[in-house]
Amino acid sequence: MTWYNIFQATQVLFLAYFISLSLGYLLLNVLAFFSLKLRISNRSMEDSPHNHIGFELPISLIAPAYNEEATIAASIRSLLQLHYSEYEIIVVNDGSKDNTLAVLQAEFELVPFPEAYRRRLTVKHVRNIYRSKIYPNLKVIDKENGGKADALNAGINAARHPLFCAMDADSVLQRDSLRRLVVPFIEDPDTIVAGGTVRIANGCDVRSGFLHNIGLPSNPIALIQVTEYLRAFLFGRLGWSPMNAVLIVSGAFGLFRKDVVVAAGGYRTDTVGEDMELIVRLHRTYLNRGEKYRIIFLPDPVCWTEAPESLKVLKNQRVRWQRGLAESLFLNRGLLFHRRGGAAAWLAFPFMLIFECFGPLLEVTGYVALLVGYLFDLVSLEVAIALILIVQGFGLMISTSALLLEEMAFHMYPKAGSIGTLLAAGVIENFGYRQLITFWRLLGLIKWLFKTQSKWGEMTRSGTWQKKKT
């Protein structure tokens, strides 16, 4: 076989990969459209102020915190203002090196509280447990650093309620988020996990935990991520949900049955993708036992979180995410083509494996082959441009579809020009940004393949979107 034939085969594979990926996304988009349409038709009933009152299950909110002094106080104040009948807040200070614990002590008047601590899950040493003198439903666990998964497990050990909500300490929940997220557990006893939507808080106006105004980031890196998140949540996970094939529930906002997670052994501490790994493991566990279960995604419970605004922090995040994805799939490879697996085993897992896990390798190989082919006159400039435009056109089509779903269902960005700005960001994303992200994802895949050390990565928080109440 000649080099020319190898090059031609590589380009055919490259183009087939992108066409298959785009067709898969289009199918998810169609499923998301009908799911969202049904959701909108039922929303008026769910929005009734008396709906499910008296049937709400108490919830333990668990917020791991590591070096979160810039945003922790406002985030906890937002949790204290949620519209929900009964819940507790458990902040787990995972050996922070900054003043996270001191900020919490000063803001909420924490005092040591001699509480029985049941070690259902093994965790690093717990130094102390504090209670707030002002808010009886707020407790803080101070422990040795063990990573996010270990902090979540410590919070589960201390949780009193049958459901727990795992979230990030730098996030802000909309006030009705818990009330919306708990509905599947009330309506269907087979529900074991429900995930909500995560949106970008950069550019928003949050004052003392209140979301006053929704806006777009001025930082171009954060702005592009708004489109990314819309695409990932509004038709990615929403498309898989009707098939019970959701493999990722964001670690920033997910509601779980506590007994199910404890029985499964809690969060694994030897992976950087503890949120996805737990979900894939729960699929595999329930399928092996032949038991009915539901893991679903809901588009309207919303959590707002800060996105990276520098390339350095963004790189660390995406490398970590990709490694966590590979670890999660490999550790639970028994789910692939499970005989009772349904869409989760026969559609979602192969899709994630081919397009999300090994996709960066295929994409980078295709781009390199195209460049080499042009430099050595194996392909003309016209053909190279045509291939690139086809690939970028598919990407732009997917981003536009996500924005249409956003406008159809939520209209979250009402200011004049917001959708035009997001459309422009979607265009820019496909010319440079996405290729850079793909390269970083390839680095994450390589780190997984060579088993470099895992750790809970640090993210620098600006906290500029959180302001003191005026």
Whether the pLDDT of residue 464 is over 70: the answer is: no
3-state secondary structure the chain: CCHHHHHHHHHHHHHHHHHHHHHHHHHHHHHHHHHHHHHHHHHHHHCCCCCCCCCCCCEEEEEEECCCCCCHHHHHHHHHCCCCCCEEEEEEEECCCCCHHHHHHHHHCEEECCCCCCCCCCCCCEEEEEEECCCCCEEEEEECCCCHHHHHHHHHHHCCCCEEEEECCCCEECCCHHHHHCHHHHHCCCEEEEEEEEEECCCCEEECCEEEECCCCCCHHHHHHHHHHHHHHHHHHHHHHHHCCCCCCCCCEEEEEHHHHHHCCCCCCCCCCHHHHHHHHHHHHHHHHCCCCEEEEEEEEEEEECCCCCHHHHHHHHHHHHHHHHHHHHHCHHHCCCCCCHHHHHHHHHHHHHHHHCHHHHHHHHHHHHHHHHHCCCCCHHHHHHHHHHHHHHHHHHHHHHHHHHHHHCCCCCCCCHHHHHHHHHHHHHHHHHHHHHHHHHHHHHHHHCCCCCCCCCCCCCCCCEECCC
Distance between CA atoms of residues 145 and 151, nearest Å: 8
Q: Per-residue pLDDT tens for 348-369? A: 999 999 999 999 998 888 888 7
Residues 6+ apart with CB under 8 A from 13: 362, 366
Residue 470 banded pLDDT, cuts 50, 70, 90: very low
Q: Token pair 């049955």 is at which residue? A: 257
| CA nearest to 467, candidates 215, 138, 224, 97 | 215
Rounded distance, CA 458 to CA 464, Å? 18
CA 451 from chain center: how many Å? 24
The 10 Å Cβ neighbour count of residue 79 is: 25
Return the CATH number of 60-160, one of 1.10.3720.10, 1.20.1740.10, 3.90.550.10, 3.40.50.1100: 3.90.550.10
To the nearest whole percent, how much of the chain has pLDDT over 70? Answer: 91
Using CA atoms, how far apart are residues 75 and 171, in angstroms rounded to an integer?
Answer: 6
pLDDT in tens, 45-104: 555 544 555 568 999 999 999 998 887 888 888 899 899 999 999 999 999 999 999 999
pLDDT at 18: 81
Longest dimension (CA), the chain: 76
pLDDT 10s digits, 256-281: 999 999 999 999 999 989 999 999 99
pLDDT in the model for residue 48: 52
Convert the pLDDT of each residue in 179-233 to its tens digit. Answer: 999 999 999 999 999 999 999 989 988 876 677 888 899 999 999 999 888 888 8
Direct distance between the N- and C-terminal alpha carbons of the chain, in angstroms, rounded to an integer: 72
Q: Mean pLDDT for the chain?
A: 86
> Rounded CA gap, 201 and 207, in Å?
12
Q: How do residues 312-354 score in pLDDT, each as one tens digit? A: 999 999 999 999 999 999 999 999 999 988 999 999 999 999 9
Q: Where in the chain is the domain with CATH 3.90.550.10?
A: 60-160
The band of 44, judged by pLDDT with boundaries at 50, 70 and 90, is low
Alpha carbon of residue 13 to chain centroid: 30
Contact 203, 293 (CB under 8 A): no
- HSE (side-chain half, CA atoms, 13 Å) at 442: 14
Tokens of 354: 């081919």
